[in-house]
Amino acid sequence: MTQHHPADRIVVLTGAGISRESGLETFRDADGLWSRHNIADVCTPEGFRRDPMLVDRFYNGRRAELAGVQPNAAHLALAELERAAHDGRWNGELLIVTQNIDDLHERAGSHNVLHMHGELRRVRCTSCGATPEWLGDCLPDTPCPACHRPTLRPDVVWFGEVPLHMDRIETALAGCDRFVTIGTSGTVYPAAGFVAQVRDHAETVDINLDPPQVPTLFDRTLIGPATRMVPQWVIELLGA
């Protein structure tokens, strides 16, 4: 019995730029998060040990923002591509690997999503390891719903910590036919190293407002806002 093999296995890596037009800030743009917050204070385990209240407030603020934003046309186009694979309109397979901790891919209808840097709508207990869904504020004295100890932290990957789902991501990268980056500056590793990893076996495409730092790593660049370029790219794929 011949194994059904999708003709087009695509891994899409998204960054903060895909959520910019939904109203969420990016990190490195002029008015980005890092222009107002110190990475070492709010995005490292050392910073959390030094001042957990400062870090919790940083993530509580970003979590509260989520309620006021909606997925945009770029998120919706990727969800449509996943649906097309599901109902046979497209003989392909789509995996979204996101550096984003927002939930806009899922709210757009995407299911095949790996959050390699964690999720805002979860916290993690450093005593019992529970990772309960969390929609409101979390403070240093907030008890864990499972073990009741006040040892909760944001369920995100900070600098110096190992990203999540790396095995599944490495397997998908090794087997992909196309690798597409959307709205990422390509400055944070290991995510920034994926394109070099797949270049020998996959078509590489970058979608961003600006040209990539290393253009030679990409076979194609689509320059423009994600809400315009991603739907165009998906229509082209489904039309092909």
Number of residues near ligand BV8 (by CB under 6 A): 36
Q: Catalogue the E-assigned strands of the chain.
A: 8-14, 92-98, 113-115, 118-125, 152-156, 178-182, 203-208, 220-223
Judged by beta carbon, residue 73 or residue 95, the one nearer ligand BV8 is 73
Which is the catalytic residue, given 4, 86, 117, 148?
117
Tell me: does residue 69 bind ligand BV8 (CB under 6 A): no
The answer to whether residues 123 and 132 touch, using CB atoms and an 8 Å cutoff, is: yes
Q: What character string, x for contact with ligand BV8 (CB under 6 A) and - otherwise, covers 131-170?
A: -------------------------xxxxxxxx--x----
Which of 90, 204 has the CB closer to ligand BV8?
A: 204
CA pair distance 6, 225, nearest whole angstrom: 29
Can you tell me the distance from the alpha carbon of 89 to that of 81, in angstroms, rounded to the nearest whole number?
A: 9
Sign of the alpha-carbon dihedral angle for 44, 46, 51, 56 = positive
d(CA 113, CA 103): 10
231 binds ligand BV8 (CB under 6 A): no
State in angstroms the smallest separation of the CB of 137 from ligand BV8. 16
Question: Checking phi first, is residue 109 left (phi over 0); if not, alpha (psi -120 to 50) or beta?
Answer: left
Per CB under 6 A, does 189 bind ligand BV8? Answer: yes
Sign of the dihedral defined by the CA atoms of residues 208, 214, 217, 220, in that order: positive
Q: Please answer whether residues 23 and 68 qualify as being in contact, where contact means their C-beta atoms are separated by less than 8 angstroms.
A: yes
Strand partners, 93: 9
**Closest CB 112 distance from ligand BV8, rounded Å:** 19
52 makes contact with ligand BV8 (CB under 6 A): no
List the binding residues: 59, 62, 99-102, 125, 128, 144, 147, 183-185, 208-210, 226
Per CB under 6 A, the list member of 54, 69, 84, 188 interacting with ligand BV8 is 188
Closer by beta carbon to ligand BV8, 90 or else 115: 115
Annotation says 5 is catalytic: no
Question: Which positions are catalytic?
Answer: 117
Q: Which residues bind ligand BV8 (CB under 6 A)?
A: 15-17, 20-21, 26-29, 32, 43, 99, 101, 117, 156-163, 166, 183-185, 187-191, 208-210, 225-226
